[in-house]
Amino acid sequence: MIVLGIESTAHTFGIGIIKTEANKTKILANVKDIYTTQKEGIIPAKVADHHVEVCDSVFQKSLEIAKIKKKDIDVIAFSQSPGLGHTLRIGAMFARTFAATLHKPLVGVNHCIAHLEIGRLLTKAKDPIMLYVSGANTQVIAYEAEKYRIFGETLDIGVGNCLDTFARLLGLGFPGGPKIEQLAKKSSKYIALPYVVKGMDVSFGGILTNIQTKFSSGEFSKEDLCYSVQETVFSMLVEVTERALAHTGKTKVLLAGGVACNKRLQQMVGVMCKERGATSYCPENQYLVDNGAMIAVLGKLMYDAGNELQIEKAIIEPYLRTDEVFVNWR
Ligand code: AMP
Ligand code: MG
């Protein structure tokens, strides 16, 4: 079976094509075009325009790389939730049109869960605690009783959003996380910042204001601030992840989301796991950031479990949470 996955929750328009045979999954193509800026942040309407512009070329390229024809596709999956309404609509429209004209079944998937399912598939991590860290989302998740339960999460902005907003002040453009990582490597001087863990939850808004104020005062170098913000927010994430491990008795941690590309975060999670006899898993970068392959992977699991969506009901759900999805495929 060949499944097409369409990703359009935010900055990335991506198409993934997977082929499954006798319980083996092969990723045939994973093509994406990411909206980036030189200086400013992302404006939803502009990102939607970007997706409209690139969707056909991304699709054609994915067919070429996968060496298949349109008619070979058996199922179409698209990111239905959560995300920016402006951009989700582009992917949903693309998916509905395709499903209607080619008479193919349609599946709507939750983007956060797709990050986790592709991680489980590629790393073979068994029943992990998942630290999902992206631009808009920051959650510590574990599977329990037919739901992906959220053990801890951000109370305000996502950790990636915190890094991106600070990067914008530094004039680094979007996405800022990778640029902050490079600047942080040039320093080892820790400047004390607020450390905000509340129970199992984290909050980044106050830390962002604090580093913005510190930078604007001119008294601190950007390298030292980048180093310090990474050390602080990653320590907070490691702390709540460790607590989730302790609470559930699970012994694996799976990283997911774009911020998980950060080598310092990977290292800190690795050290914590080693110290408590657990194991950490991390798929390669192209599957950590938003991508179409993950939508195809979850689409296939959901299709097999009978979750086909009628075209008339294929409306976007920008606010659907990870723990609201009934998981009938595990
Ligand atoms: P996603 O929405 O999952 O594609 O993740 C995008 C987010 O990941 C953005 O906030 C990026 O700034 C962030 N990101 C990507 N690479 C890195 C990195 N190396 N270090 C920190 N954040 C990163
Ligand atoms: Mg994401």
Which of 134, 204, 229, 231 is the pocket-test mutation for ligand 1 (most atoms within 8 Å of CB)? Answer: 134
Q: What is the mean pLDDT of the chain?
A: 97
Residue 234 CA, ligand 1 centroid: distance in Å: 13
Which of 130, 261, 294 is the pocket-test mutation for ligand 1 (most atoms within 8 Å of CB)? Answer: 261
CB atoms within 10 A of CB 175: 25
pLDDT of residue 42: 87
Pocket lining for ligand 1, CB < 6 angstroms: 10, 12, 134-135, 160, 163-164, 175-178, 181, 257-259, 261-262, 289-290
Closest atom of ligand 1 relative to the 288 alpha carbon: 3
Residue 36 CA, ligand 2 centroid: distance in Å: 15
Is pLDDT at 122 greater than 90 in this prediction?
Answer: yes
Which of 112, 289, 322 is the pocket-test mutation for ligand 1 (most atoms within 8 Å of CB)? Answer: 289
Q: Which residues pair with 75 in a beta bridge?
A: 3
Domains of the chain, earliest start first = 2-115+287-324 (3.30.420.40), 128-286 (3.30.420.40)
**Smallest-distance ligand from the CA of 134:** 1
Is pLDDT at 22 greater than 90 in this prediction?
Answer: no
Cα torsion at 123, 128, 129, 130 (round to 10°)? 30
Write the pLDDT tens digit of every residue in 207-233.
999 999 999 999 999 999 999 999 999
Closest atom of ligand 1 relative to the 263 alpha carbon: 19
Which residues, including other chains, have CB under 8 Å from residue 152's CB and lie 6 or more apart? 139, 140, 199, 200, 201, 202, 240, 243, 244
pTM of the model: 0.96
Write the pLDDT tens digit of every residue in 7-17.
999 999 999 99
pLDDT of residue 23: 85
Question: Taking Cα atoms as reference points, which of 202, 195, 108 lies closest to residue 150?
Answer: 202
pLDDT of residue 56: 97
